[in-house]
Amino acid sequence: MSKKVLVLCTGNSCRSIIAEALINNHLKGLEAYSSGVKPSGRVNPNAKKVLESHNEWDDNYHSKTLDTLSHLDFDLVVTVCDHAHETCPIFEKPTPKLHISFEDPDGKEYDAFEATYTEIKELLLPQVQKALENN
């Protein structure tokens, strides 16, 4: 049985989508989902492009609200921006939380998305794995 991870950010268009893909592709036994506290309703084209360039894009990735995931019980909630951390909702079941804020690449050149991808891969993945090993 895989453990479920929710990645939250504000718009659910860049950072949380990238983190969702990285967790799903690199951490065995985990199933990641992403959502926004104020979802934009779209995936940033450069976020999609960076995931495609690393062969990690899945057409199921999309910007969504938390209520679309309410049927799932998460083993860990990860916030990847300060706004999501500050406005993180309360879950019915006590759920461990992890917060690591990444700069928003939205509105920047493609290189910023590549840097965000690398930073999430190097900083977030080990922390997610460690947090779930302790649970």
Q: Which residues are catalytic?
A: 9, 15, 104
Report which of 102, 123, 97, 124 is spatially closest to residue 113, judged by C-alpha positions. 102
Q: Phi and psi for 51 in degrees, rounded to 5?
A: -70, -40
For strands 97-99 and 76-79, give the pairing.
Answer: parallel
- The full 3-state SS of 27-55, as one line of letters, equals CCCEEEEEEECCCCCCCCHHHHHHHHHCC
